[in-house]
Amino acid sequence: MSDQPTAKQLRSTFVQQIPLLVALVVLWMLLWGTISWISVLSGVIVAIAVTRFFYLPPVELSGRFNPFWLLVFLARFLWDVVRASFQVAWLSFRPRGVQSNAVIAVDLVTVSDFITTLTAITISLIPGSLVIEVDRDRSILYLHVMSVDDDESLNKVREKVLSVERALVRAVGSKDDVERTAR
């Protein structure tokens, strides 16, 4: 058999790349600050060149989307950002300052690169914590967290990360991931 891809495989690959190409064209137009036929055309050319020269492994999406759970996730995320902003502000102004910080490992339940990435981004956007490393093979996030005094604080942070992961899985995760996080 030949190692050459069939026409059907090439069409399938192109269809899978359409969302990436559209996103790159939109980003290109945002960078130029204008919507014109020349920015669209040059955006398409740049997007095709980028996807051909800088190969990225395909991200497997679940094909599942739950708008209700996405709204729940977004509301909770906004609440977490506001609450954590006030907590970090208090830590910076209180007389004794920040007494202790920690780097912790959190074992995620899912093995999906997509959910792992979304979880890492979400946690990094919430003030007071930052993902410093991701062990993709073992689905572990390493975080730097502020103001942890004891094991109870560390366990709260771990549970927070896992609850963010569960919320994302309910919104956009695969059925496998939903079952895995429900246990």
Residues 25-44 have pLDDT tens digits of 999 989 988 888 998 999 99
Write out the residue range of the structural domain in which residue 38 sits.
7-53
- Number of structural domains (the chain) is 2
> Do residue 77 and residue 148 come from a single domain?
yes
pTM: 0.72
Q: Measuring CA to CA, which residue among 131, 114, 117 is closest to residue 172? A: 114
Place of tokens 């040059």: 42
Place of tokens 């963010």: 164
26 lies in some domain: yes
> Do residue 48 and residue 134 come from a single domain?
no
**Residue 136 predicted with pLDDT over 80:** yes
> Do residue 100 and residue 148 come from a single domain?
yes
> Do residue 109 and residue 136 come from a single domain?
yes
> Do residue 176 and residue 100 come from a single domain?
yes
- Check if the beta carbon of residue 161 is closer than 8 Å to that of residue 104: no
How buried is 19 (Cβ within 10 angstroms: 0-12 exposed, 13-18 middle, 19+ buried)?
Answer: exposed
> Do residue 120 and residue 82 come from a single domain?
yes
Name which of 4-18, 95-109, 120-134, 139-153 the model is least confident about.
4-18
